[in-house]
Chain A
Amino acid sequence: MNNLPTTSAVVEQALEIEKMGIFAIPLLPLIGAIFLGASLGQSKDRHWQSGWVATIFSAGSFVASLLIFSELIEGASSVRFTAWEWMSVGSFSVAFALTMDNLSGVMTLVVTGVGSLIHLYAIGYMDHDDSRPRFFCYLNLFLFSMLLLVLGENLLMMFIGWEGVGLCSYLLIGFWYKEMPNANAGQKAFVVNRIGDAGLLLGIFILFWQLGSLNFTDIQANVGLMPPYLIEAAAILLFIGAVGKSAQIPLFVWLPDAMAGPTPVSALIHAATMVTAGVYMVTRLSMLYLSAPNTLLVISVIGTCTAFVAATIALVQNDIKKVLAYSTVSQLGYMFMALGAGAFSNGIYHVVTHAFFKACLFMGAGSVIVGCHHEQDMRKFGGLRKPMKWTFLTYAFATYAIAGLPYGSGFFSKDSILWSVYSNPGSAAGIDVAGMPLSHVLWGFGLLTAFLTAFYMTRSLVLTFFGEYRGHHEAHESPWTMTLPLIILAVPSLIFGILFGETLIQFIAPWGRADMLVGHAKLAENHTYHLLELVSMGVAVLGVSLAAFVYLVKPQIASQTAKSAPKLYAFLSDKWRIDELYAAVIIRPLTGISNIAFRIIDRLFIDGTVNGTGFFVAANGELARRAHSGRIAGYMLFMVFGLIASLLFWILL
């Protein structure tokens, strides 16, 4: 074994508890989904019940998670249960088993907690929709899949959830299937995710091939037995899966399109939970990634690029959900920056805080959309702070958090990420970019992104809630089922960092790099840290004030800037033209190849050969048939010459 960093997880004596109840966590939403699915045919006047059923089942799941989680608080290292042997072929064996340890415990709570709130919110949001039972069925199904993903004891269990959430995402994006673009977006999401999944599968194969097991604990413990190049290969392949699921460059294109789904879906799946699965997975396999420095470097760079690129695009979006979508991509980029630096626990920290404020933002946006009669264009909002007081307040709190303003939850998590990027002792530090270590360059981009984040979030806040109302229909506040979840989420968005940040980081520290533990207590004496903290704080304030100035005081600046650089503006609002790039580089060639394969290879070449053989035989038959002319003289000659020829042939032979 080379000098791999050790983590406390390996050292600590594991106390495992077998508890069947852990299966209740995913099963409750599943039951809900089946129940709702079975009652799809019922009459419309009972549709209102479906939302409550779904909410109750997801809340039940939250309670079950709390109960199991309490075991962890009481000192168990993990709670697990094997239901049955899923498949066992030769040396390959996978159990249908769930485990909750600290990492998955935190994720489970976030998923079920935030999930339940979003369920509640959706009751209001989907109030007038005809297909509510179907919606809540999918939503519960999603929760089930997500919980399998999080709780799965091995990579394959996780993969069930991984694909399951993809399916639900597909179904929910295309929920309003009568609009073809929605269906297209759903399919795009699924297929792009599948590209990632393909990589993930290959990674799984390498791990099984090398280690003979897919259990996370086995992988974590034995990863050092693998040759380094295979570690890198497995890590990068698994990371491809994460890139797909967590919408990183180059596979992020599906997420903005995914906003075609109902807003609660965007909040739950495409902000709070599913898209963070990639972060979760990398963290799960932290030992693997820590042993793969080059992969970590790749992750850093991709994370940084994604964060930056998405933030620039978010600057110019006018659809409020698109802004939030790119913001999500950007924040996910942050999380991967943390992972790339080996600060896994910081990444998870950001996952948690992001779940709070981004869910809150999305639901706020949803509330606005409902209030403005399904209008999503921010240019048609404005001045909504008066009619929609609660929505405004919660949105503002969440914006405060995401912008990284001091002592909001986003401030702590983002800051810890930036610090870990800056102080990354991994290979990023060793690479020299224009005289600076790469880690510092990445940090610089991270900082820039933080500025952009503050800017575009403030922009959305201002455009939506300040100024004059520019819409046509009168806006109104949403019902309590929608505002209550907003309020509940706004609170932790603001104060989670102060109250629980330290605890959380310690709680999931075993998945981090031992020398990378970032917490206030530990860093209290570090001057650089404080300096950087101040810088990022300043940047956030600057971003917010600049945006407030531009959009509140001098709106013309924005339009002039856009006009002064039209190409840049178009480039940004066309999302760096990545969709077009894909169309040109992948989709169209692939269609071309397929058509060639079908028309030329299949029809012309293969079938041509087959039919040609038949034709050739038949043509010879026709020739031979014509030779049978019916003329007696000809026949006589033929016979005699046939005799002579065969005799000659025989003699010569």
Chain B
Amino acid sequence: MSLTEAYLSLSAIMFGIGTLGVLLRKNTIVIFMCIELMLNAVNLSFVTLSREYGQVDGQVYVFFVMAVAAAEASVGLAIIMTVFRNFYSIETEDVHDLQG
């Protein structure tokens, strides 16, 4: 297994772990952290591929993803706060007024 493949596999495993985390955890903040993990897994792929192809594109992309993730984190936490104010909980199973 080449180094590239190893990194890509690691990335895939991280992505998988992140996905599983999203699926299995109930706390919205933890879920959000898992999503961050997924994003970082993708970042790892990008960096790996960028190195493989000898370009900077992928690495540039990673910066953007990180910036976006930061933005998402701030917005996300704010939303979680409003949810907490309305529901007094940030567990996903408590938030299901809307359904059907």
Contacts and interface: CB of A to CB of B under 8 A. Distances in A.
B23 A628 contact: no
A626 B96 contact: no
Q: Could you say which interface size class chain A belongs to? A: 10 to 19
Interface in A624-649: 625-626, 628-633, 636-637, 640
Given A625-B100, A626-B100, A631 B92 contact: yes
Contacts of B92: 631-633
B23 A640 contact: yes
B96 A632 contact: yes
Contacts of B2: none
B97 A630 contact: yes
B99 A629 contact: yes
A170 B52 CA distance: 102
A107 B99 CA distance: 87
A631 B23 contact: no
Contacts of A630: 96-100
Contacts, number: 29
Contact of A631 (B19, B22, B31, B96): B96
Contact of A628 (B22, B26, B99): B99
A149 B26 CA distance: 94
A111 B92 CA distance: 99
A629 B96 contact: yes
A587 B77 CA distance: 82
Interface string A593-629: 0000000000000000000000000000000011011
Interface residues of B, number: 13
A628 B95 contact: no
B38 to A, nearest CB: 12
Nearest to B96: A630
Given A631-B92, A631-B93, A636 B23 contact: yes
A640 B93 contact: no
Contact of A633 (B93, B97, B98): B93
B68 to A, nearest CB: 21
Nearest to A625: B100
A458 to B, nearest CB: 92
Nearest to B28: A632
Contacts of B93: 631-633
Residue among A625, A628, A632, A636 with max Cβ neighbours from chain B (10 Å): A632
A628 B19 CA distance: 21
Given A637-B23, A640-B19, A640-B23, A632 B99 contact: no
Contacts of B100: 625-626, 628, 630
Contacts of A625: 100
A640 B34 CA distance: 15
Interface string B54-96: 0000000000000000000000000000000000000011011
B98 to A, nearest CB: 5
Given A625-B100, A626-B100, A628-B100, A633 B95 contact: no
A636 to B, nearest CB: 5
A633 B92 CA distance: 7
Nearest to B19: A640
Contacts of A628: 99-100
Given A625-B100, A628-B100, A633 B19 contact: no
Contacts of B96: 629-632
A625 B99 CA distance: 8
Interface in B1-52: 19, 22-23, 26, 31
A626 B99 CA distance: 8
A629 B92 CA distance: 12
Nearest to B20: A640
A636 B22 contact: yes
A633 B99 contact: no
A638 to B, nearest CB: 10
A626 B100 CA distance: 5
Contacts of A632: 31, 92-93, 95-96
Contacts of A640: 19, 23
B6 to A, nearest CB: 24
Nearest to A637: B23
B8 to A, nearest CB: 18
A629 B23 CA distance: 16
Contacts of B97: 630
18 contacts: A626-B100, A628-B100, A629-B96, A629-B99, A630-B96, A630-B100, A631-B92, A631-B93, A631-B99, A632-B31, A632-B95, A632-B96, A633-B23, A633-B26, A636-B22, A637-B23, A640-B19, A640-B23
Given A630-B98, A633-B26, A633-B92, 5 more contacts: A630-B100, A632-B31, A632-B92, A632-B93, A640-B23
Which 9 residue pairs spanning A and B have beta carbons closest together?
A630-B99, A630-B96, A632-B92, A631-B96, A625-B100, A630-B98, A636-B23, A629-B99, A633-B92
